[in-house]
């Protein structure tokens, strides 16, 4: 124990008392910074897209629209999200387990691969040689460097996962912690396991495609490509969900002193993600040729609904743990007294709370409904799909990561934010914009407005086509929501970059709390009590507020779900 | 605390409200799970994914033959073709048009074969909003029965290159 400590230099965090290991801390920082850099690239593309889909503005030309769409998809869904997740993995396996990082060397190698891969892909997209969109569906062909860049990036990410597992191993071996690992680390482990599976599918889809683009082998079957690519694409979303839920738990503790009600339930739900997500790539192929109804129904319901169950469980346990924490602080008035007393001005908290609400009420409900075999007929490739995933991966995951950043920067970079007033409103601006945009997309999509489409007036086509004026109003909402979200995003990037590079140092001191003295003291007391109270546990504490909310959620879900069946029933008959 | 190791034996079943919610959520998931097979047997709208491997040239030959023998007119240079009720109909999606224009009868059932000789396309029928994915090399067969009359637009909703947004077609139902 002492020997390891001597080699592995660490500092003790003045806020949490946890040990921060210097070598892992470095990689957390670099990955987080790179994540924000690529977020900026994606954001610049995003505003172009939103203003192009707003038909009254129609900003970009067709070539640039498709190029920016490719740039946006790749930088946001791959580089921003995954760099951030790598930062989280480094943190979760070291500081939370009180262990050093397994290998600094591997850290460097993976960083180099991921950095080079991301630069290559961005370069070739901007050079105009890879206008194939994120999914690069064969036989659409990009320059080989496009596929190679993504493959290198993926190999780098795989190495980070390996480093993570090796660190879990040495931590266990050296007994740096007692008993089971903390829940947040467990969630991160679930993410890392799914990442390995996802990347294996990605390799199976992209390596042959790369070889085909080099002219080394014949064409790749487009149906098989879709199956494999979505093995990567869908599982990646499950990585995002695991990472996001881990952040929910982490921030729940950090901002309110909440403690999971029942570790078995929380961990069991993570386990469900690992076990039942593998075939959910099926829900991207629901109206494809080549796969039969039995396969589609089995893989959506059997595999997916148990993963859905997991999300519904977390969607209860996280707010319930907040409710219990609040009630223990004495906020017991009525059903929702605790709710109004939550630290809404703490951007770490508000971002996470908005993330829970947007992910659950918008992302979750639409996702399960659109992923229903038959209902997909009225949703496939319409704007309903981006409407759905901007509520999951943007309003959910990205917003949660932003909340995390409001604690990561003071704790890991040891810098204090300037302009805290702006930081406090940022989650509301970004979340609000995303909600408006996502609603606009979903409603436009229900008129059949396609995604990935430059001109819904179809000017220049031989046979005319077009949409109801209301659909154009909805596209206006996409533009307006997009502008608001863009401003929220710029605010986030500006604040974090300024703080990381020019913020006031808080080395040797605890971080300045985002909350007032009183609520800071109350949450710190709860955190200090920690697990000592185990046993006289929460069994007797009720969560009427959360129960009310989740029942409302279930009713909303059912109404939306059956309304979609109703809409489907009005269509022509098709088998 | 989610950031500390749990102390003691944490393995225990959920209780109280939590248990209630897990039960409700599971029930809902089961309801959704049985709805899909139920609709498969009782519902009128299903995506069976019926399809056959096909060479691009063979598919184009069949489609052209279908057009030649069933052509009833032309609009803007695009042939209008009326398949016999209950019979086969062909639709080609290529960069960047859907052809021919199909003339169908309300209440009649057709076996509509759709494929592409080049890239992936998205068959999207408006204002109905019915969508199916089209892959090159696959003859995607939709057994379709129009239940309303009028002119219907077909657009493409999968990116297929720089003219993607100009790709349109038409179905007329009488
Ligand atoms: C300011 C914030 C954002 C705005 C305004 C925005 C807006 C848009 C718009 C307008 C589209 C195009 C939809 C279409 O025409 O088909 C789009 C696509 C997309 N966005 Fe965003 N977005 C934002 C943030 C994000 C983030 C943070 C992520 C991921 C973490 C993301 C992931 C995607 C993906 C994957 C696509 C689909 C690309 C494709 O079809 O290939 N977006 N976004
Ligand atoms: Cu998916
Ligand atoms: Cu197209």
Choose the closest CB to A300 out of B17, B36, B45: B36
Residues A315, A268: Cα–Cα separation, whole Å: 14
- Residue B78 within a domain: yes
Ligand 1 atom closest to Cα of residue A383: 16
A14-529+538-574 has which fold? Cytochrome C Oxidase; Chain A (1.20.210)
- Residue B165 within a domain: yes
Q: Which residues hold their Cβ within 5 A of ligand 3, which is an ion?
A: B 156, 160, 164
B129/A221 touch (CB, cutoff 8 Å), yes or no? no
Task: Look up residue B156 and give its two tokens.
Answer: 């493409």
Task: Look up residue B30 and give its two tokens.
Answer: 């089961």
> DSSP label at A513?
P
**A60 Cβ inside 6 Å of ligand 1:** no
**A73 Cβ inside 6 Å of ligand 1:** yes
Residues of A in contact with B26 (CB under 8 A): 309
Residues A98, A80: Cα–Cα separation, whole Å: 27
pLDDT, one tens digit for every residue, chain A (575 residues)? 444 544 558 999 988 889 999 989 999 999 999 999 999 999 999 999 999 999 999 999 999 999 999 999 999 999 999 999 999 999 999 999 999 999 999 999 999 999 999 999 999 999 999 999 999 999 999 999 999 999 999 999 999 999 999 999 999 999 999 889 999 999 999 999 999 999 989 989 999 999 999 999 999 999 999 999 999 999 899 999 999 999 999 999 999 999 888 889 999 999 999 888 766 678 899 999 988 888 888 888 777 788 899 999 999 999 999 999 998 888 989 999 999 999 999 999 999 999 999 999 999 999 999 999 999 999 999 999 999 999 999 999 999 999 999 999 999 999 999 899 999 999 999 999 999 999 999 999 999 999 999 999 999 899 999 999 999 999 999 999 999 999 999 999 999 999 999 999 999 899 999 999 999 999 988 888 776 555 455 555 688 999 999 999 999 999 999 999 999 999 999 99
**A77 Cβ inside 6 Å of ligand 1:** yes
| Residue A457 phi, psi (nearest 5) | -95, -10
- Residue B29 within a domain: no
Q: How close, in Å, is residue B99 to chain A by CA atoms?
A: 10
Q: How close, in Å, is residue B83 to chain A by CA atoms?
A: 17
Q: Which domain holds residue B150?
A: 50-173
Residues A310, B22: Cα–Cα separation, whole Å: 9
Task: Determine contact, residues A284/A230, Cβ cutoff 8 Å.
Answer: yes
Residues A105, A110: Cα–Cα separation, whole Å: 9
- Residue B34 within a domain: no
**A483 Cβ inside 6 Å of ligand 1:** no
Choose the closest CB to A287 out of B131, B143, B162: B131
Spatial CA neighbour of A548 closest among A330, A367, A305, A320: A320
CB within 8 A of A164, min separation 6: which ones?
A: A89, A90, A92, A93, A188, A189, A192
| Total domains in the fold of chain B | 1
Ligand 1 atom closest to Cα of residue A478: 10
Please state the length of chain A: 575
User: CATH code at B139?
Assistant: 2.60.40.420
Residue in the structure block whose two tokens are 């190679």: A148
**A489 Cβ inside 6 Å of ligand 1:** yes
Residue nearest atom 43 in ligand 1 by C-alpha distance: A46
Residues A133, A143: Cα–Cα separation, whole Å: 12
- Residue B45 within a domain: no
Domain residue limits, chain A: 14-529+538-574
Would you say the ipTM is above 0.90?
yes
CA of B26 to the centre of ligand 2 (A): 21
- Residue B33 within a domain: no
Nearest ligand to the C-alpha of residue A461? 3
Task: Determine contact, residues A456/A430, Cβ cutoff 8 Å.
Answer: no
User: How far is residue A48 CA from its own chain's centroid?
Assistant: 22
CA of A282 to the centre of ligand 2 (A): 8
- How many CB pairs (< 8 A) connect A and B? 334
> In this complex, is the C-beta atom of A261 within 8 Å of any C-beta atom belonging to chain B?
yes
Q: What is the dihedral of CA A48, A54, A55, A56, to 10 degrees?
A: -100
Ligand 1 atom closest to Cα of residue A134: 41
Residues of B in contact with A465 (CB under 8 A): 126, 153-155, 168
**A485 Cβ inside 6 Å of ligand 1:** yes
- Residue B115 within a domain: yes
- Residue B16 within a domain: no
> In this complex, is the C-beta atom of B39 within 8 Å of any C-beta atom belonging to chain A?
yes
Task: Determine contact, residues A232/A204, Cβ cutoff 8 Å.
Answer: no
**A451 Cβ inside 6 Å of ligand 1:** yes
Residues A166-195 as b/e (b if ≥16 CB within 10 A, e otherwise) read ebbebbeeeebbeebbbbbbbbbbbbbbbb
Q: Which residues pair with B156 in a beta bridge?
A: B123
> In this complex, is the C-beta atom of A181 within 8 Å of any C-beta atom belonging to chain B?
yes
* Residue among A289, A469, A569 with most chain B CBs within 10 A, to mutate: A289
Find the DSSP H helices in A14-143: 22-53, 62-73, 81-94, 104-126
């Amino acid at each position: 124990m002492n020997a390891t400590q001597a080699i592995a230099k660490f500092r003790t965090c003045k806020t949490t008392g946890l040990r921060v290991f210097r070598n892992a801390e470095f990689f957390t920082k670099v990955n987080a910074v790179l994540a924000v850099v690529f977020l900026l690239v994606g954001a610049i593309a995003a505003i172009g897209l939103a203003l192009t889909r707003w038909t009254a503005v129609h900003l970009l030309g067709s070539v640039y629209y498709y190029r920016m769409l490719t740039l946006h998809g790749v930088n946001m869904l791959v580089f921003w999200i995954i760099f951030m997740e790598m930062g989280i993995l480094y943190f979760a396996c070291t500081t939370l387990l009180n262990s050093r990082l397994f290998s600094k060397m591997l850290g460097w190698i993976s960083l180099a691969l991921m950095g080079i891969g991301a630069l290559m892909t961005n370069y070739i997209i901007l050079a105009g040689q890879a206008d194939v969109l994120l999914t690069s569906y064969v036989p659409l062909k990009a320059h080989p460097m496009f596929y190679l860049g993504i493959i290198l990036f993926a190999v780098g990410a795989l190495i980070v996962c390996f480093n993570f597992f090796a660190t879990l191993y040495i931590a266990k071996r050296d007994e740096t912690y007692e008993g089971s690992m903390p829940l947040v680390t467990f969630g991160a482990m679930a993410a890392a396991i799914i990442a390995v599976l996802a990347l294996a599918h990605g390799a199976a889809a992209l390596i042959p495609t790369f070889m085909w683009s080099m002219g080394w082998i014949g064409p790749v079957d487009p149906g098989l490509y879709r199956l494999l690519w979505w093995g990567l694409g869908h599982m990646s979303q499950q990585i995002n969900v695991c990472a996001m839920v881990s952040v929910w738990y982490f921030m729940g503790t950090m901002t309110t002193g909440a403690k999971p009600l029942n570790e078995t339930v929380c961990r069991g739900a993570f386990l469900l993600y690992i076990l039942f997500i593998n075939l959910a790539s099926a829900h991207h192929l629901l109206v494809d040729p080549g796969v039969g109804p039995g396969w589609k129904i089995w893989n959506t319901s059997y595999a997916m609904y148990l993963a859905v169950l997991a999300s519904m469980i977390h969607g209860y346990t996280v707010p319930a743990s907040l409710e219990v924490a609040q009630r223990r602080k004495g906020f017991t008035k009525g059903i929702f007294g605790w709710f109004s007393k939550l630290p809404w001005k703490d951007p770490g908290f508000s971002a996470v709370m908005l993330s829970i609400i947007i992910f659950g009420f918008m992302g979750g409900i639409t996702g399960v409904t659109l992923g229903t075999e038959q209902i997909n007929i009225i949703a496939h490739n319409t704007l309903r799909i981006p409407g759905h995933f901007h509520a999951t991966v943007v309003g959910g995951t990205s917003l949660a990561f932003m909340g995390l950043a409001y604690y990561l920067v003071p704790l890991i970079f040891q810098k204090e934010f300037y302009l805290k007033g702006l930081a406090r409103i940022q989650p509301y601006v970004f979340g609000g914009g995303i909600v408006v945009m996502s609603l606009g997309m979903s409603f436009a999509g229900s008129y059949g407005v396609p995604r990935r489409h430059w001109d819904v007036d179809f000017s220049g086509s031989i046979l005319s086509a077009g949409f109801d004026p209301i659909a154009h109003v909805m596209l206006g909402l996409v533009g307006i929501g997009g502008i608001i979200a863009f401003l929220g995003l710029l605010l986030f990037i500006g604040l974090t970059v300024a703080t990381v590079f020019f913020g006031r140092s808080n080395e040797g001191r605890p971080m300045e709390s985002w909350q007032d003295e009183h609520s800071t003291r109350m949450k710190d007391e709860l955190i200090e009590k920690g697990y000592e109270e185990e046993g006289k546990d929460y069994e007797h504490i009720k969560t009427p507020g959360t129960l009310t909310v989740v029942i409302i959620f279930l009713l909303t879900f059912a109404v939306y779900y059956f309304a979609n069946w109703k809409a489907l029933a009005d269509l022509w008959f098709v088998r | 605390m989610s950031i500390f190791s749990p102390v003691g034996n944490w393995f225990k079943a959920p209780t109280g409200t939590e248990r209630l919610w897990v039960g409700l959520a599971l029930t809902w998931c089961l309801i959704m799970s049985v709805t899909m097979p139920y609709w498969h047997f009782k519902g009128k709208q299903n995506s069976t994914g019926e399809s056959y491997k096909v060479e691009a040239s063979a598919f184009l030959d069949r489609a052209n033959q279908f057009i030649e023998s069933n052509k009833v007119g032309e609009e803007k240079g695009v042939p209008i073709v009326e398949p016999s009720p209950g019979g086969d109909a062909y639709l080609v999606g290529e960069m960047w048009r859907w052809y021919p224009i199909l003339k169908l009868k309300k209440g009649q059932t057709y076996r509509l074969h759709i494929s592409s000789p080049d890239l992936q396309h998205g068959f999207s029928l408006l204002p109905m909003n019915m969508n199916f994915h089209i892959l090159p090399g696959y003859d995607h067969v939709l057994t379709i029965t129009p239940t309303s009359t009028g002119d219907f637009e077909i657009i493409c909703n999968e990116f297929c290159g720089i003219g993607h947004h100009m790709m349109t077609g038409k179905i007329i139902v009488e």
